[in-house]
Chains A and B, each alone.
Chain A
Amino acid sequence: MRNVKWLKSVIVAIILLLPLTALARGIDPLVSTDWLQKNLGNAKVVIVDVRKVEDYKAGHIPGAVNVFYGSWAIKKGDLLNELPPIDDLADVIGSAGIGKDSLVVIVGKTDKVPDQFDMTRVAWTLKYLGVPNVAILNGGQNQWVKENKPLSQDMVKAKAKSFKASITDKLYVDKAYVLDKLGKATIIDTRAPAFYEGKEKLAFVPKLGRIKGAVNLPVGQLYTPEGLYKDKAALAALAGKAAGNDLNKELLLYCDTGKTCTSWAFIMTEMLGYKDVKVYDGSSMEWLADPSAPAEP
């Protein structure tokens, strides 16, 4: 009973402190369609539409530049969703008109839950390259269209900027790093429970199972049935249950390819105030292909 009381107090304290974390940024990590509509003329705001060129040309948020998701994450060897070379990424960012002081809003489609993660992987990658003020449009393009907000078919050509990457150390980590942290950091498997429990796997993942000692925080829990993010209190409670409430504890998040886990990584860091969150880019595709990498069950 005493423990429950203590846990409740900690959660309440976290929720009360949440606005302070938001104030540290130039933009809220999740922006609403209304906010974006009001800020369409804001010169500091760069709207980045990560959908396919064909979809973008069919209709996009006025002023949004198109930088297709495939520019941000590529296949390397057998691994999906890996980082392109940094100089290529810097070109992509600069040619989209993004500077380090830009307020970037990422827009993607949200037809299905997995679509959400294009946006968060791009947001995490921008943070990695030194762009701090990145936001996700809550509900993405679908929400904008659903609310009958204006659309444009003009091809927006951004005013290119020279962008020099400043890598934010360790937002993406490799297998050796995770191996070294086994038993020390909290490892969070963000896949659905059946995948975490070793009952199911995707075809391209070499075998069933999870990283030894990992806890489960499924990405499906982030969203409402309408495809919007749940409110802060609900997200804080979910995260706290899996990751604990020590905001300074090192957390290593992974999934199948290093893409979907960026959703919790982004929310935990940018909204909930966790200070040491890293994404294991190789994720299950790499870990479970290595017989010497400790796995369970």
Chain B
Amino acid sequence: MYKGYVVDHDLLKKDQHFILACTQCHQGNDKVLKKEEAHKDLIKRPSDNMANCVMCHKTVTEKYTKSLHYTSAGQRNGVMPRFSKEDLKKFDEKVFEKSCRSCHASCGDCHVKSPAVSGISTGLISGHKFVKKNEGKTCSSCHGGRVYPEYTGEYGGEPDVHYQKGMLCVDCHKKMEFHGDGKAYSSKNMVKDRPSCNNCHKPGSEKNPAAKTSHQTHTGKVTCYGCHSSGEYRQCYSCHSATGSKAKPGFILGLNPRDKKTLTTLRLIPTKKSTFYKAGIKMENFDALPNYWDSAVHNIKKRTDRTRSCDSCHVAKAGFLNKEMVIKEGGSTANEGLIYNIKPIKK
């Protein structure tokens, strides 16, 4: 028997959720002893039905149902400019609801049992305790492909300096980001009050004069990530084609596709025109979006190759997106618009 499911008496006394009977959330039948009968109509994930949580947690649950963690709307709206009306209808029916939406998080995914990713869950977070937070067992599951292992250094690079200082997700990403503020945003980029380096690292407060000068010189031209990403982070190739996904480390600098003027770290989103052919989606406007997107990489270091030497960018152009580097087969023509030709420093 899997002991993780045993709810002991100590836990029953400590956690006021257990004022309720098991059946109140899980249904089934607690009047019988035979497992088959007791588990008839059992609901394994009670919080998939928000009505169970809203009874006591009305405000937060109502806000949460509009949050991006719950709606997954960012995944739909991000790719939407590529679709005709007809394409969008098919996407909503055949792709978004059946695939993307399966990633939405229920209350229980973060507070009771680690979310299942590709069908695999690490189980209850702490017995059946309702926990406030446990980033290593919750955030790390859904964001375990790229962000979390980059942050801890387990992807193969250096751990993020904030992890070295003992910080976990919730130290920067506040509660509002998880639960939402009650508005239904179309993308995370619309959300105000997201973490910003400047919230803690005030411009002009640098102790090192060289750092102060460098920050002043690059303000508005390069994001913090551009210089302070420690190096390679995970780039995925071929995820959205039939050949199977491949991931390998890479460091890419290019223009932010959202403003086309700020240099930043880019991550490849390997969608091809043919990605949704099986669903009958043609993506005739495929080239409306590039394949490279600005990425808030989580491998920040105080010193990097770029902070140690101006030549890393201005002479060697290390990591800069160029015509040879952009994905060839099936890539968007918009990719080349992100190439930035950096100039040597005038001395």
Contact = CB atoms under 8 A, between A and B. Distances in A.
A67 B152 contact: no
B308 to A, nearest CB: 8
Contact of A68 (B135, B157, B164, B301): B164
B286 to A, nearest CB: 36
Interface residues of A, number: 20
B154 A54 contact: no
Nearest to A75: B156
Contacts of B154: 70
Given A70-B153, A75-B156, A57 B164 contact: no
A2 B168 CA distance: 63
Contacts of A85: 303
Interface in B152-191: 152-154, 156-159, 163-168
B171 to A, nearest CB: 10
Contacts of B303: 85, 87-88
A52 B158 contact: no
A66 B166 contact: yes
Contacts of A155: 166
Contact of A53 (B134, B158, B163): B163
Contacts of A75: 156-157
A184 B157 CA distance: 36
B194 interface: no
19 contacts: A52-B136, A52-B152, A53-B168, A54-B136, A54-B168, A57-B166, A67-B164, A68-B159, A68-B163, A70-B158, A70-B159, A71-B164, A74-B158, A75-B156, A87-B303, A88-B301, A88-B302, A88-B303, A95-B165
A88 B157 CA distance: 14
Contacts of A54: 134-136, 168
Nearest to B163: A53
Nearest to B155: A75
Given A70-B163, A74-B158, 10 more contacts: A52-B152, A53-B166, A53-B168, A54-B134, A56-B166, A66-B166, A68-B163, A68-B164, A70-B153, A91-B302
A92 interface: yes
A56 B163 CA distance: 12
Given A70-B153, A91-B302, A84 B158 contact: yes
Interface string B128-156: 00000011100000000000000011101
A66 B152 CA distance: 13
A92 B163 CA distance: 12
Contacts of A71: 159, 164
A46 to B, nearest CB: 15
A8 B154 CA distance: 47
Interface string B295-333: 000000111000000000000000000000000000000
A54 B134 CA distance: 8
A71 B230 CA distance: 13
B236 to A, nearest CB: 19
Contact of A74 (B153, B167, B168): B153
Contacts of A68: 152-153, 159, 163-164
The 9 closest A-B pairs by CB, nearest first: A54-B136, A70-B153, A70-B159, A75-B156, A71-B164, A74-B158, A66-B166, A53-B166, A155-B166
A17 to B, nearest CB: 40
A68 B158 CA distance: 11
Interface string A53-97: 110110000000011101100110000000011011001100100
A138 B65 CA distance: 50
Interface in B235-290: none
Contacts of A87: 303
A68 B302 CA distance: 17
Nearest to A67: B164
Contacts of A57: 166, 168
Nearest to A91: B302
A280 to B, nearest CB: 21
A76 to B, nearest CB: 10
A53 B302 CA distance: 19
Contacts of B157: 74-75
Interface string B104-141: 00000000000000000000000000000011100000
Nearest to A156: B166
Contacts of B167: 53
Nearest to B126: A58
Contacts of B159: 68, 70-71
Nearest to A155: B166
Nearest to B154: A70
A92 B165 CA distance: 9
Contacts of B163: 53, 68, 70
B49 to A, nearest CB: 30
A53 B169 CA distance: 11
A68 B156 CA distance: 14
Contacts of B168: 53-54, 57
Contacts of A56: 166
A66 B166 CA distance: 7
